[in-house]
Amino acid sequence: MSEAPESGPAPVADSPFERLRRHTWLSPTEWRRRILFWTGAVLVGVAAVFFAKAADFAFDLFRSVTSHGWWVPLLITPATFALLCWLTQGAMKATRGSGIPQAMASLDVEDEDFRARLLSLKIAVGKMALTLGALLGGASVGREGPTVHVGAGLLYSLGRRFGFDEPAAAGRFILAGSAAGLAAAFNTPLAGVVFAIEEMSGTFEHRMSGTLLTAVIVAGVVSLGILGNYAYFGEIAASLPLGKTWIAVVLTGLVGGTAGGLFARLILPSAKGFRGGVARLRAYNPVLFAAACGLGLVLLSMAGNTSLYGTGYAQARDILQGHSDTGPLFGALKFLGNIAASWAGIPGGIFSPALAVGAGLGGNIAHLLPGADPSAVVLLGMAAYLAGVTQAPLTAAVISLELTANRQMALPIMAACLLARVVSALICRVPVYRALANQLIAQYKDECAQRRIAGAEGNP
C-alpha cells in the first residue's frame, strides 16, 4: 500500500489588515495620488481664475491706451507681435500657440525630457505671462487653450515632484490637468470631461474615470467659489422648434464646417502652395513677419471699422444677445484676424476667438431666416464653427450649451456640430490640434535621430 505524499506547509491565511492594504481603494499609494490630483486641481482652478482676471485687466488696459487715437494700435500691436515672436525663439518656444497641441503631444510621447520641455513650470508660467502680453498688445487670441496648457503643466510638475514620474502615471496627471484647465477656464465642468475624452486622449480608461471627474469637479468648484455661479455668455433663452426653422441647422453646419475647416487648413504648416510661401516668409525673418501680421490685424480693424482685438468675447456676447453694432463683416474680418495671430506664432488660444467668428457668421445667417429666433441661429453658428475648427463636435456642443446655460438647443446644436465636423474633415483631413501635436512629435523624433547620427559619427 503506497504512502500518501507529504503535503507542504499549510498556507498562512492573510490577516484582515493585509487584505485591506491590498485593496486599491485603501492603498496608501493610491490615496497619495488622489490627494495630489485634488491639490493640483485646486491650484489649476486658482490659476485659471487669476489668468481670467489678469487677461481682462490686460485687454482693458489696451483699450484704454488705444482710445487716445486711431494711430495708437499701429504702434503697439505690431511691436507686441514682434517682441513675442523674439521672446519665443529659444527656450520658450513651447509657449507658442494654443498650448493644447503641446499637452496632446506630451500624452503621446512617454519621454521625460520631451514632456519636461513642453510642460515644465517655467513653460507654464511663461505661457501665462506671454499670453497676457499678447492681450496687452491687442492680439486676437484667447486664454482657454493656454489655461489647458498651464493646467497640464501644473499637474505634471506636481506629480513628478512627488514621485509619480513613471510614464503612464505622468500621463494621467497631464490628462487630468488639461481637463481641469478647460473646465476652470470656461466654468464648464462637463465640457472639461468631454474634452479630455474626445480631444486629448481619444479613449477613456475606466480606471481613470473617477480620478478625472474629481479633478475636474474640484477645479470647477474653485472657479465657482471665487467667481460665483455664472454662464460665460449669460443665460440665453433661445429655442429652435422643429419645422422650417431647422434649415438653420443645415446652413450653420455647412457654413461653420467650411469656414472652420478652411481656418484649420490655413494655419497648419505646409511646404507647398500658398501655405508654403507663408512658411518661407516666416522662416526668412520671423520677427519681421510677426510684426507684419500685427500690422495686418490693425489694418483689418480699421478697414472694417470694428475692433478685432482680443478674444472677441464682448462682440460675441452682444451678437448673441441681439444688441450688437459690429456690422455684417465682423465674422469674416475676425476670421482673418485670427489667422494673422496664428501665423505670427505668438502665444494664445483660438477657442474664444473662434466663438466670436461663429457668432458673426451666425448673425449673418440669422438675417436670411427671419422666421427663426436670431439668438438660436447665432448660438448654432458659434457651436458649428468651433466644431469645424477643432473637429471635436461633442466638445463644441457641450461648451456651447454650458456657456449659455441653455438646454433647449441641445439637439439642434449637436446636429449642426456633427454636420460641421463632416464638412470640415473634407477640407482639412486631420484635426488641427492633432496635426500640430504630430508636428511637435515629428520634430522631436528628428532631433533624436540627429543626435543618434552625431553620436555614431563621434564613436566609430
Q: Is the pLDDT of residue 322 over 60?
A: yes
Instruction: Select from 196, 186, 219 the least CA-distant residue to 55.
Output: 186
Q: Is the pLDDT of residue 9 over 60?
A: no
Cβ–Cβ under 8 Å, residues 435 and 104: no
**Look-up of cell digits 564613436:** 459
Instruction: Select from 228, 229, 210 the least CA-distant residue to 38.
Output: 210
CB-facing half-sphere around the CA of 67: CA atoms within 13 A: 6
CATH architecture of 31-227: Orthogonal Bundle (1.10)
Instruction: Over range 446-450, report the average pLDDT.
Output: 84
Cβ–Cβ under 8 Å, residues 347 and 88: yes
Instruction: Select from 352, 313, 290 the least CA-distant residue to 143.
Output: 352
Q: Is the pLDDT of residue 329 over 60?
A: yes
CA 286 to CA 55: how far, in whole Å?
Answer: 26
Hey, do 31-227 and 244-441 end up sharing a CATH topology, with the first three levels equal? yes
Q: What is the pLDDT of residue 1?
A: 45
Q: What is the pLDDT of residue 151?
A: 92
CA 460 to CA 120: how far, in whole Å?
Answer: 36
Query: What's the whole-number average pLDDT of the chain?
Result: 85
Q: What is the pLDDT of residue 275?
A: 85
**Look-up of cell digits 491687442:** 138
Instruction: Over range 239-250, report the average pLDDT.
Output: 79
- The model's confidence at residue 410, banded by pLDDT at 50, 70 and 90, is confident
pLDDT digit string (tens) for 361-381?
999 999 998 888 899 999 999
The gap between the terminal CA atoms of the chain, to the nearest Å, is 73
Q: Is the pLDDT of residue 165 over 80?
A: no
Domains of the chain, residue spans: 31-227, 244-441
Instruction: Over range 126-135, report the average pLDDT.
Output: 96
Cβ–Cβ under 8 Å, residues 134 and 347: yes
- Crossing angle of helices 330-344/247-267, nearest 10°? 30
Q: What is the pLDDT of residue 207?
A: 45
The proportion of the chain whose per-residue pLDDT surpasses 90, expressed as a percent, equals 50
**Look-up of cell digits 466644431:** 387
Q: What is the pLDDT of residue 290?
A: 96
307: CB partners within 8 A, 6+ apart: 301, 315
Torsion angles phi and psi, residue 142, rounded to 5? -115, 175
pLDDT digit string (tens) for 24-83?
556 677 777 778 878 888 888 899 889 999 999 999 999 999 999 999 999 999 999 999
Dmax of the chain from CA atoms? 112
Where does 244-441 sit in CATH, by number? Answer: 1.10.3080.10
- The model's confidence at residue 20, banded by pLDDT at 50, 70 and 90, is very low
Q: Is the pLDDT of residue 213 over 70?
A: no
pLDDT digit string (tens) for 106-117?
988 888 899 999
CA 148 to CA 47: how far, in whole Å?
Answer: 11
